[in-house]
Structure 1
Amino acid sequence: MKIYFFGLLLLAVIPSLYSQHTLKGIITDAATQEPVFNANIYLPQVEKGSMSDLEGNFTIQNLPSGNYKILVSILGYETYSSTITIPSENLNISLKPTAMEMEEVIVSTPFHQLQSENVMKVERESVSELNKKGAITLADGISQIAGVESVTTGIGIGKPVIRGLSSNRVLVYTQGVRLENQQFGDEHGLGISAKGISSVEVIKGPASLLYGSDAIGGVLYLNPENYAPANSSNAGLNTDYSSNTLGYQTSLMAKSSGEFWKFLTRGSYTAHSDYKTGSDYRVTNTRFNEKDLKAGIGFQKNNYKADLRYNYNNSDIGIPEELGAQTLTKDPQLPYQDLQNHILSLENRLYFGESELNLKIGYQFNDRKEFEEHAGEEDSLEEVETPALEMHLETFNYNLRFNFPEKGRFQTIVGTQGMFQTNKNLGEEILIPDAQTIDFGIFLTSHYHVEKWDFQGGLRYDLRDLDTEQFSTEGNDIIPGIEKNYNSFNAALGAKYQFDEGLNVRLNLASGFRAPNISELTSNGTHNGANRYEIGNSNLNNEQNFQIDLAMEFRNEHFEAFINGFHNAVNDYIYIAPTGEIIDNENVYSYTQKNANLYGGEAGIHIHPHPLDWLHFESSFETVTGKLNRDTYLPFIPANSINNMLRVEFAQGDLFTEKFAFIRLQSTMDQEQPGNFETRTGGYSLLSSGFGTSLVLSTGILSINISGNNLLDKDYVSHLSRLKPDGISNIGRNFQVSLNWDI
């Protein structure tokens, strides 16, 4: 480990060998030759940009020499994409008018391209847009993306489900590093506040080539909040209120940027009472509160760029067991969890003319505590000071990549990733043993472009070393320690063909793998949060999968459509199933393996008729089926659903700008294919609506959003709710009011 920190120190102190440059240019309308005001000019590789002034002029300073992609975007024009060489003559860029929506840069894939240029299909949504649609939490927001759902325990606990796979099969990235917070546990959520997250990206399908083990089902990539533009400062206050839970969320932000240094800080606090169902009862102990702090320091000069980020999250989350007293308190009762997560990350970039070296390192400390009543006693919160369960998880991550100079039409990246992790128990109960995990991976990926074709592929090798210590169960059974080594070769190959300016077809073939986690290998005890007795299996093998994914997209100024189909074959799929035994008054579940297949897809349309550019109709459909060896259906597979939304947007206005309104009907069909310890779930439809605007004041911009979810107060149960076996319904009608004041 000292070697890695020494290498980091060298990168931090290397003096620049190259001069800095200034890029200037003018943005004009291709049809009228008039200057375009307020266009966004951005160089994603160096993460620097500017805005055009009234005359269409722009200036970007402090740029290193080399070849860089430049993107120019503004509402009403086609996004401009090209490659330029720094130093450069003044640019003259003409934008073509269009009614199509602006494209964004995709960060989760290695070559930082626009979605239309990407070989791999990636879904992207800004958190602000998800909030406008009434999302209460981050987990609730991502479930609005086609092909993405959430396994929930109330509204405070949610885990992403991508095409039927979740938990350790979906990798979450935040601040550029993989999130490690005992994510195998179903009974706690992401542990990340949506405040301070700018956007989310979803890779649907195996991404082991880029991310290693645990990306067998896909990746949820959370992009952190951006710094202020160079030589500017701003602050903001955001507050939300939810009627159903009488919940509130308040967030304060301040950031400032000079020419070389950038600073950012944000603090947030959230508190919710027990949620109320459509049957007008509150679900006891689904209350939660959360404290969150995010901070960042950025530096860029000449050919060196650094970004240091820190996130502290502390959540107190109730563990619902049975319906009880109907109260509005926001303090969890026993049993409850106290989760603390620290994430420290540092990204270093060095630019060498046409090549680039990128090193990301991360340190995480996760402290997970569970408090519960002692057997035979009725304890109050004040009486229970010692957690029954306490686990400390420390993780060090590194990700080193080198972008080779572009050769002809080839772009190539070679890299290595790794992780060193320890888990220690401090409580009286042991859910998983003390353990040490070491990951190492090396990969190579290339992109090739020729006329209407784009190809991307690569190879990767991974090695995981896992050692656990012997421990005793509550029944004094001795569980021996294990020493395991897992390794895997994986590959990916994709192609994109552009038939014309509006039609793209993508075909991707990819393999992935997942090594068994510690819980699956060694569990032997009562899992209170899951209400079961779990028994692990030390003989489990790697999960290994192969997925084929076909996607088609069509876009013009009036209409957009997409259709995606996939088949995912998973060998040695690990799952938990009841044994029929009972230990300590809990049903016993054990881990086992069998081959599985998942298949399905998504389809959708978006109509925005020109010249009625303010009018939008969107509709999407998603379906997935999961089977064990073409026999038993997999558990926690979302039911088929259709999402229809009509929205209007008006950007212009002297006092009120960015006006919008929407109405959405989400219809979930019957789930008639439950897993072997599940029951069928009836379908339901939820009606939502909302509106908002931004008010331009002398002191800043005040944004107001009002939305209502489940307006008809439908009493329903989601198939992905962990409270379903107890017959407990999901949240009923909820109105949310959000205010955001940017200074």
Structure 2
Amino acid sequence: MKNILLSLLSSMAVFTTYSQNTLSGRITDRSTNEPLEQVSVYFPDLEKGTITNENGSFTIGKLPPGIYKVVASYIGFQSFTQNITLQQGKNRLNIALSPSAIEMEEVIVSTPFHKLQRDNVMKVEFAKIATLKSKGPPTLIEGIGKIPGVGVVSTGVGIGKPVIRGLTSNRVLVYTQGIRLENQQFGAEHGLGVNEAGIESVEVIKGPASLLYGSDAMGGVLYLNPEKFLTPNSTEGDVNLSYNSNTQGITSNVGVRSSGEKLRFLARAATNNHIDYTGGDGNKVTNSRFNEKDLKMGVSYQNTIFKSEIRYNYNQSNLGIPETIGTQTTSRTPELPYQKINNHILSSKSKIFFENTSLDLTLGYIGNFRKEFEDHHHDENETDPDNGEEEHSEAALDMKLNTFNYNILYLLPKWGKSETIVGIQGIHQTNANFGEEILIPDATTNDVGVLGTTHFHLNENNDFQFGLRYDYRKIAGKAYGILGEEGYIADLDRDFSSFNGAFGYKNNISKQITARINVATGFRAPNLAELTSYGGHSGANRFEIGNADLKNEQNIQVDLALEFQNEHVELFLNGFHNSIKNYIFIAPDGTFINQNAVYNYLQQDATLYGGEVGFHLHPHPYDWLHIESSYQTVFGKLNHGNPLPLIPANNLTNTLRVAFFNANSWWLRTNAFISLNTTFKQGKIGEFETVTPEYSILDAGFGGELKFMKRSMNINISANNILNKKYIAHLSRLKSDGILNIGRSVTLGVTILL
């Protein structure tokens, strides 16, 4: 007992000593030596920071000893980053920031070492959600589709999923709240399922990321960063409202954040409601209406050597599935067929700091409860006498997907100029059916993966990163139906495994030029639909037969990136070549069952290649003027057959943008843009696709930040498809029915900081 008390007292003494560690300093403008107020000073590894006062001074307390990266960032200045050694007691760091018209750099969190993009060996695209939303897209995924190299497979306006360099669905992994999002993403009509409220930014890894995330990341990763907790001893709230003229869409959310010395809290509630969208021909697309409700909450505790946060997100979506141009109405209630989705995301992230090392533990649960109501169940509809709306009580499809996942990462003690992380990741997933129809059987999936990755900083100009990973997946599915009859699914017991590696090299050829090369392998285990399908697919008028003997998809991708950047010009050139072994696709075999053509899941090697090129000019002395242009191209084909389906058409975007800042005016910031987006003819098409002609879309917008009665307010007005162009995107699932994409729309958005 005596020894235990002594140990506790020793631990308390160490903790007390650590809690007295501080970092103080002053931040100035390098060109004028004047102090800078409201500069963010932040430790990415510790997730701890503050802002400077009117004298440019800052103090951050209760810091653990060790070597940590500190980042100082402020709009209009180049971000500062440096590894510093925190000693016990008082530490000091003075920083001089250099003016720059280039947008402020952010810390990339989707890669393991949390560096600024210019320090990353792997190229990662970063975008703030507020910036994407200011361009007027009605949903989060439509906004993300504006990022070069990223597209959207859409079913109307309300349903969409990301396409990264020609790969989509189970080949692209989505992360939110630090955990992988599992929402039956194999389905063509299964969208992202995340509301933009409470999402601060998005990062896109355009290439195999299986080393970091395991199966399904062979095409890339979409990493959604939730809004941060506030700095200590502060409270704020905000109200956000927007209206879309085309869909009469009403979007609103309200949030509050409050932080003490150790305990922090945030909450946000949102609604999103749209009628059928109108195409460029003036006709409403029947049943493209959708609505959703969203709630996000989080609580965090942090002391000197330990921090932990718990976040919860509940999302309820009602999504109409458009099929034709029919009755013109302004109803906001989806009619048959439609989906009703309830999504629960619960995550826990904890980190323990040791001297020069740390341990991360992330746990997560996702409950995706999906129901689909179809036309042939109309006899079972009941009418609610109170509101006259049809209440569809019987679901054709009723699937409950429960996923538990874990991620444990340990940062080893630094050795020389290298940083190394080792870890173990895994999921336990169950799928259960309760509806009349079954797409995939009741099944259990278990994943486990072990990894190690090292970043080696040779000198100021040369960085290397390499790693290795092993994964094992086991899928056990239950038999369903009667052997020999339509809809029969045999039992399934398969396991898959794969070794994957990655190597990257970054070279600062000069102060302005950076070159990167990355070579990575990735894999994807076949999903349940590909392994077990046996039955008619009414939406596609075909009979699909799965293949229980399918092998892993395995790929190797080479990425090259070249960037030039000075104070007023940015240029980038990205290229990639992606070879995929055992690519899974579906094709007819020439036979028929119940008058439906039979389609089988097959495998064949495939190749994709292409890239992105662009520039950003803000000429001196007109730093308020921004001229931006980007071009993206992707080619994909089976090695012994046709072009791959769902390959985005080549695209060119040209934007003229202005941005002004006046700290002494009640109107603090002003921005405006006009953009011409040209999508070229897509003639290299898959076996079941049709040629898509060229089209151009003109967008424009205006916004600003102003002070009103000691409150800050942001106003944005954007107009999309100003010329009301009649067009159908190549990646629209409504293309086969000749249904147009959305016509002219004007969006008005207001954000009020309370």
TM-score, length basis structure 2: 0.95
Distance 1:516 1:211 in 2: 16
Instruction: State whether residues 466 and 503 of structure 2, in contact with CA within 8 Å, keep that contact through their aligned partners in structure 1.
Output: yes
Instruction: State whether residues 187 and 529 of structure 1, in contact with CA within 8 Å, keep that contact through their aligned partners in structure 2.
Output: no
1:453 and 2:453 aligned: no
1:77 and 2:87 aligned: no
Which secondary structure does the structure 1 equivalent of 2:341 belong to?
A: strand
| Shift in CA distance, 202/260, structure 1 to aligned 2, threshold 3 Å | same
User: Post-superposition shift, 1:40?
Assistant: 1.3
| Shift in CA distance, 358/378, structure 1 to aligned 2, threshold 3 Å | closer
Distance 2:588 2:373 in 1: 26
Which AA in structure 1 matches 2:661?
Answer: A
Could you report, residue by residue, the CA deviation over 1:332-370 in whole angstroms, capped at 9, with x for unpaired residues?
A: 001111011100000000000100100000011110101
1:196: which partner in 2? 198
2:242: which partner in 1? 240
Distance 2:148 2:377 in 1: 45
Q: Within 5 Å, which residues of 2 pair with 1:221-370?
A: 221-370=223-372
Instruction: State whether residues 159 and 189 of structure 1, in contact with CA within 8 Å, keep that contact through their aligned partners in structure 2.
Output: yes
What fraction of aligned residue pairs are identical, expressed as a percent?
52
Distance 1:235 1:373 in 2: 44
Q: Within 5 Å, which residues of 2 pair with 1:164-243?
A: 164-243=166-245
Could you report, residue by residue, the CA deviation over 1:223-281 in whole angstroms, capped at 9, with x for unpaired residues?
A: 00111221111111111111111111110111111110111111111111111100111
Could you report, residue by residue, the CA deviation over 1:460-500 in whole angstroms, capped at 9, with x for unpaired residues?
A: 00000000000017955532101001000000000000011
2:439 to 431, 439, 445: 431
Distance 1:556 1:28 in 2: 21
User: Post-superposition shift, 1:432?
Assistant: 0.5
1:9: which partner in 2? none
1:678 and 2:689 aligned: yes
1:636: which partner in 2? 646
| Shift in CA distance, 376/133, structure 1 to aligned 2, threshold 3 Å | closer
1:146: which partner in 2? 148
Distance 2:356 2:341 in 1: 44
1:465: which partner in 2? 474
Distance 2:506 2:640 in 1: 31
Could you report, residue by residue, the CA deviation over 1:594-653 in whole angstroms, capped at 9, with x for unpaired residues?
A: 100000000000001122111100000000000001531000100000011000001215
Which secondary structure does the structure 2 equivalent of 1:109 belong to?
A: coil
Which AA in structure 2 matches 1:735?
Answer: V
User: Post-superposition shift, 1:501?
Assistant: 1.4
User: Post-superposition shift, 1:383?
Assistant: 5.7
Which secondary structure does the structure 2 equivalent of 1:471 belong to?
A: coil
Distance 1:656 1:175 in 2: 35
Alignment length, in residue pairs? 730
User: Post-superposition shift, 1:61?
Assistant: 1.8
1:721 and 2:732 aligned: yes
1:665: which partner in 2? 676
1:4: which partner in 2? none
Could you report, residue by residue, the CA deviation over 1:698-720 in whole angstroms, capped at 9, with x for unpaired residues?
A: 25211110000000000001000
Could you report, residue by residue, the CA deviation over 1:481-528 in whole angstroms, capped at 9, with x for unpaired residues?
A: 010010000000000000111110000000000000111101123345
Distance 2:600 2:553 in 1: 17
Q: Within 5 Å, which residues of 2 pair with 1:583-622?
A: 583=593, 587-622=597-632
Could you report, residue by residue, the CA deviation over 1:57-81 in whole angstroms, capped at 9, with x for unpaired residues?
A: 0011222221110111112322111
Instruction: State whether residues 206 and 512 of structure 1, in contact with CA within 8 Å, keep that contact through their aligned partners in structure 2.
Output: yes
Which AA in structure 2 matches 1:619?
Answer: S
Distance 2:403 2:248 in 1: 36
Which secondary structure does the structure 1 equivalent of 2:50 belong to?
A: strand
Instruction: State whether residues 577 and 677 of structure 1, in contact with CA within 8 Å, keep that contact through their aligned partners in structure 2.
Output: no
1:387: which partner in 2? 395
Distance 1:266 1:618 in 2: 34
User: Post-superposition shift, 1:584?
Assistant: 5.3
Distance 2:659 2:477 in 1: 56
1:647 and 2:654 aligned: no
User: Post-superposition shift, 1:374?
Assistant: 3.0
1:705 and 2:716 aligned: yes
Which AA in structure 1 matches 2:472?
Answer: L
Which secondary structure does the structure 2 equivalent of 1:83 belong to?
A: strand
Distance 2:561 2:661 in 1: 32
Distance 1:736 1:462 in 2: 46
User: Post-superposition shift, 1:375?
Assistant: 6.3
User: Post-superposition shift, 1:418?
Assistant: 0.2
1:494 and 2:504 aligned: yes
2:54: which partner in 1? 54
Instruction: State whether residues 16 and 302 of structure 1, in contact with CA within 8 Å, keep that contact through their aligned partners in structure 2.
Output: no
| Shift in CA distance, 117/184, structure 1 to aligned 2, threshold 3 Å | same
Q: Within 5 Å, which residues of 2 pair with 1:482-631?
A: 482-528=492-538, 532-583=542-593, 587-629=597-639, 631=641
C-alpha root-mean-square deviation of aligned residues, in Å?
Answer: 1.7
Could you report, residue by residue, the CA deviation over 1:7-29 in whole angstroms, capped at 9, with x for unpaired residues?
A: xxxxxxx9895322221111122
Distance 2:204 2:367 in 1: 25
1:8: which partner in 2? none
Instruction: State whether residues 26 and 95 of structure 2, in contact with CA within 8 Å, keep that contact through their aligned partners in structure 1.
Output: yes
Distance 2:34 2:190 in 1: 54
Could you report, residue by residue, the CA deviation over 1:6-53 in whole angstroms, capped at 9, with x for unpaired residues?
A: xxxxxxxx9895322221111122233222222111110011111111
2:105: which partner in 1? 103
Distance 2:515 2:195 in 1: 36
Distance 2:309 2:391 in 1: 44
- Comparing 576-585 with 269-278, which one deviates more in the overlay? 576-585
Instruction: State whether residues 656 and 674 of structure 2, in contact with CA within 8 Å, keep that contact through their aligned partners in structure 1.
Output: yes
User: Post-superposition shift, 1:575?
Assistant: 1.1
Which secondary structure does the structure 2 equivalent of 1:463 belong to?
A: strand
Which secondary structure does the structure 2 equivalent of 1:374 belong to?
A: helix
Instruction: State whether residues 380 and 392 of structure 2, in contact with CA within 8 Å, keep that contact through their aligned partners in structure 1.
Output: no
Which secondary structure does the structure 1 equivalent of 2:392 belong to?
A: coil
TM-score, length basis structure 1: 0.96
Distance 2:649 2:51 in 1: 45
User: Post-superposition shift, 1:582?
Assistant: 4.9
Segments of 5+ residues of structure 2 without an aligned counterpart are 1-10, 383-388
Which AA in structure 2 matches 1:501?
Answer: K
Distance 1:211 1:668 in 2: 32
- Comparing 82-91 with 168-177, which one deviates more in the overlay? 82-91
Distance 1:168 1:734 in 2: 32
Distance 1:140 1:584 in 2: 38
1:418: which partner in 2? 426
Which AA in structure 1 matches 2:422?
Answer: V
Distance 2:508 2:214 in 1: 30
1:5: which partner in 2? none
Which secondary structure does the structure 1 equivalent of 2:536 belong to?
A: strand
Segments of 5+ residues of structure 1 without an aligned counterpart are 1-13
2:28: which partner in 1? 28
Could you report, residue by residue, the CA deviation over 1:268-303 in whole angstroms, capped at 9, with x for unpaired residues?
A: 111111111001111111111001110000110110
Instruction: State whether residues 187 and 530 of structure 1, in contact with CA within 8 Å, keep that contact through their aligned partners in structure 2.
Output: no
User: Post-superposition shift, 1:89?
Assistant: 2.4
| Shift in CA distance, 426/477, structure 1 to aligned 2, threshold 3 Å | closer
Could you report, residue by residue, the CA deviation over 1:375-394 in whole angstroms, capped at 9, with x for unpaired residues?
A: 69595673631111101100
Distance 1:578 1:249 in 2: 43
Which secondary structure does the structure 1 equivalent of 2:215 belong to?
A: coil
1:736: which partner in 2? 747
- Comparing 14-23 with 361-370, which one deviates more in the overlay? 14-23
| Shift in CA distance, 531/219, structure 1 to aligned 2, threshold 3 Å | farther
| Shift in CA distance, 526/336, structure 1 to aligned 2, threshold 3 Å | farther
